[in-house]
Amino acid sequence: SRLTHYPKHLSGGEQQRVALARAFAPDPRVLLADEPTGNLDQKRSHEIMKVLAELNDQGLTIVMVTHEDDMAEYAPRHIWLTDGKVTSDGAPTGQSQHGEAAE
């Protein structure tokens, strides 16, 4: 069990999952997620994104920053920034990575 381990004894992915669990614990209205899948493998990344998508479907507002296009496809809205300025704001186009058509 990793329950009694200190953060320095956990892998980057384990630390990432603990951080996500702690973010959900207080039942927030808005979740700020800065690269929530950055230290995870593809399988775990998609698992986390499915959880975030489900929470969003249940009414949780999620503001996520990512450089991973396949993770961004889970979002119903994309806001693109270039040099600190909004350059695009709207629904994604095409087919999402988790099998649903983007709206």
Over residues 39-70, the pLDDT tens digits come to 889 998 998 999 899 989 999 999 999 999 99
pTM value > 0.75: no
- If you average pLDDT over every residue of the chain, what do you get? 84
Q: Which two tokens stand for residue 66?
A: 């990512």
Q: What is the pLDDT of residue 101?
A: 43
pLDDT at 94 over 70: no
Domain-located, residue 55: yes
Q: Are 31 and 62 in contact (CB under 8 A)?
A: yes
Q: What is the pLDDT of residue 40?
A: 87
Q: In angstroms, rounded to a whole number, what is the distance separating the alpha carbons of residues 37 and 64? A: 10
pLDDT at 78 over 50: yes
> Which range of residues forms the domain containing residue 14?
7-90
pLDDT at 95 over 70: no
Domain-located, residue 47: yes
Q: Are 38 and 65 in contact (CB under 8 A)?
A: no
Q: What angle do CA 9, 55, 88 make, to 5 degrees?
A: 100
Number of domains observed in the structure of the chain: 1
Q: In angstroms, rounded to a whole number, what is the distance separating the alpha carbons of residues 81 and 21? A: 28
Q: Which two tokens stand for residue 48?
A: 């986390």
